[in-house]
Amino acid sequence: MSNHTHNQQSHVVKIVYAKQIINGRLELIPFHLYADGTLHRGE
């Protein structure tokens, strides 16, 4: 997944989280869901 910035023509609808286990620990990874339907990893 690319980590580039999203063009500012679409607004963030909501932030969703994906669960990932890193070194035995559960981490929540934020993703931004945009109005145009694209999903990009948040910071």
**Is the pTM for the entire model greater than 0.85?**
no
Distance CA 36, CA 24 (A): 35
Q: What is the pLDDT of residues 10-29, one digit of tens each?
A: 898 999 999 999 999 999 99
Amino acid, res. 4? H
User: Strands of 12-22's sheet, edge to edge?
Assistant: 12-22, 25-34, 39-41
**Residue 5 has what pLDDT?**
56
Residue with tokens 């931004």: 32
Helix (H) or strand (E) holding 39: strand 39-41
Q: Give the CA distances from residue 8 to residues 3, 20, 36, 41, in Å, rounded to whole numbers and listed in that order.
A: 15, 28, 11, 15
**Residue 8 has what pLDDT?**
59
**Residue 3 has what pLDDT?**
46
Q: What is the pLDDT of residues 30-41, one digit of tens each?
A: 999 999 989 999
